[in-house]
Amino acid sequence: MGKLGVGIAVGCAVASCAIAAILVGRRVRSKRKWNRVVGVLREVEEGCETSVGRLRQVVDAMAVEMHAGLASEGGSKLKMLLTFVDALPDGSEKGTYYALDLGGTNFRVLRVHLGGISHGIVEQTVDRQPIPQNLMTGRSEELFDFIASSLKKFVESEGEDSDFTAGKSRELGFTFSFPVKQTSVSSGILIKWTKGFSIRDMVGKDVSECLQIAMAKIGLDMRVAALINDSVGTLAVGHYHDPDTVAAIIIGTGTNACYVERTDAIIKSQGLLTSSGGMVINMEWGNFWSSHLPRTSYDIELDAESPNPNDQGFEKMISGMYLGDIVRRVILKMLEEADLLEPASTKLTMPFILRTPMMAAMHEDESPNLREVSRIFEDVLEIPDVPLKFRRLVVKVCDTVTRRAARLAAAGIVGILKKIGRDGSGGVTGGKVRGNESNMKRTVITIEGGLYTSYGVFKEYLHEAVAEILGEDVAPYVILKVSEDGSGIGAALVAASHSQENSVNI
């Protein structure tokens, strides 16, 4: 071979080595990027860890905060509000009762006919109406005049009823889903408006009194027998169908809980007397906080950028309003860390663009190629052609965030059981478990809200965690039941249990 041939051969070898080096370098860099993506997932998984040991710490913290909130006003992040509901329906109620559900841009009116133990809920009629925008920011008198007028039309559309022919007042349960300081079972002072309402002259006024005045002006003979929120209504529905129901949980867009407490345990209201010896307490548990809660950097960022930083900490980790956005933040971090997908979608930087129902759809996608994950990325986030291996990681992120939420909600539930002595550790209303001998009482928790009722994996994780925390000796005594329409039927049932005709104790 001549010098020229040797030179060409050497040149080719050098070029081949250079190309090989470039390709290897790209593979190494690609692998490093992918490792960083996987590292983000691993970090989230570690940060969201909810071992049974940690959950039991949350249980203890919840019970302690409940005690503190009952001891003094402002003594705990949990408000532990008195509802003055000292009687819950048990199925024996008879008669016709009305319900008004006001909690957003629409309101509902219901008429429920109760037939007692043998017949239950015989009939119910519902009417839904939008609230004109101008009434949401006008004067309180205008809003309640409109509601009272709608109530009167609803009553008149039903025709005459034998229940009211003897001059008997119609009785109404009023679900008012805004912050209220309850002053009796049928009255409460509005603290502030939310959900787009801004009626300044209403703040500080008695909600029921405003409605009562409006009804009297148009000759509608109806008495507000109960003013409640949706968690109390959910408890009422549960207790109506099953007298062993002791607590109600709302797990939907937001979250809350209420339960039956012994009157003598409500230390901040010494001297409070009820005929039943008990009262429903509205916990406002969305504001619960403990150092034992597994908080990540994504939770901290979400909280800091929210309209209510350092508030509703528990709600921001377990409710439907926030889970999708936590997942969005993790996905965004993965893309930023690895530059995996180009061009990066500007939609992914928009808070709450990935709603929790979309997250649930991705999580529950069982197709081989994860078609639903791909569709949501393309249609909602405007990121096409997402690699399958990345889609698989996204499903794992959804699983991690959902599992943490469900298991923390379960710990909250067991925290309530611990406070009232129904967790197997002993207490005034419960019993201890020793070996195979048990004097545990059957305990029912009723749950309402789309996150629980419509998201199968969430529900499964919650049930699993409750059983793990309680242990195999106690878990069979605790039953979780789905409830429906606590804000509607529940309000009518509370009106029935506090009516002038019925006297049903907790």
- By annotation, the residues acting in catalysis are 108, 177, 230
CA contacts within 13 A on the Cβ side of 407:
23
* Alpha carbon distance 491, 240 (integer Å): 12
DSSP, collapsed to helix, strand or coil, labels residue 44 as helix
- CB-CB contact of 446 with 245 (8 Å): yes
In sequence order, what DSSP letters do the residues of 213-259 get, joined into one string?
A: HHHHHTT--EEEEEEE-HHHHHHHHHHHH-TTEEEEEEESSSEEEEE
User: 3-state class of 206 per DSSP?
Assistant: strand
CA–CA distances in Å: residue 225 to residues 260, 438, 497? 19, 41, 9
d(CA 261, CA 230): 18
- Residue 342's closest CA among 377, 305, 380, 384? 384
Tokens of 102: 């006001």
Run of H or E residues at 41: helix 3-47
- What is the three-state SS of 292-349? CCCCCHHHHHHHHHCCCCCCCCCHHHHCCCCHHHHHHHHHHHHHHHHCCCCCCCCHHH
Classify strands 170-176 and 222-228 as parallel, antiparallel or unpaired. parallel
Q: Is the dihedral of CA 237, 241, 246, 247 positive or negative?
A: negative
User: Could you tell me which of 171, 266, 240, 244 has the C-alpha nearest to residue 211?
Assistant: 171
Contacts with 325 (C-beta within 8 Å, 6 or more apart), sequence order: 302, 351, 352, 354
Measured distance CA(478)–CA(444) in Å, rounded: 6
Report helix, strand or coil for 502: coil
Please name the amino acid found at residue 331.
I
CA angle 474-477-483, nearest 5°? 130
Task: DSSP letter for 131, please.
Answer: P
Count, residues in the chain:
506
Tokens standing for residue 205: 């006024």
Angle at alpha carbon of residue 98, lines to 97 and 103, rounded to 5°: 145
**In terms of Cα–Cα distance, which of 293, 272, 236, 304 is closest to 407?**
293
Q: Are strands 478-482 and 443-448 parallel, antiparallel or unpaired?
A: parallel
Do residues 487 and 103 touch, judged by C-beta distance below 8 A?
A: yes
DSSP three-state, residue 118? coil
